[in-house]
Amino acid sequence: MKKWHPDKHKDDIKKATKMSAQINEAYKTILDYCNNYEYPFDEESIKATHQSPSEWMNSKFGNKKETI
């Protein structure tokens, strides 16, 4: 958001405003997903499984690596 704030782009306020709106919308989407997801993401819940955070992520989502 720091990069695309309209105050920093006086030469192209329209584009900066559009990018800021997209960033805000993405942030809201991520927060909504995390707050309503089936599994908690807080550190205490992860530690309760007696796994490291990376082990917990791998157990929930796998350890797939994408190659580009």
23-64 pLDDT per residue, tens = 999 999 999 988 888 777 777 876 776 777 788 788 878 876
C-alpha to C-alpha distance for 39 and 49, rounded to whole angstroms: 12
For residue range 3-14, list pLDDT tens digits in order: 888 888 888 889
The per-residue pLDDT for 48 is: 74
* Residue 55, both tokens: 């082990």
Q: In whole angstroms, how far apart are CA 23 and each of 13, 31, 37, 41, 52?
A: 15, 12, 21, 22, 31
The per-residue pLDDT for 29 is: 94
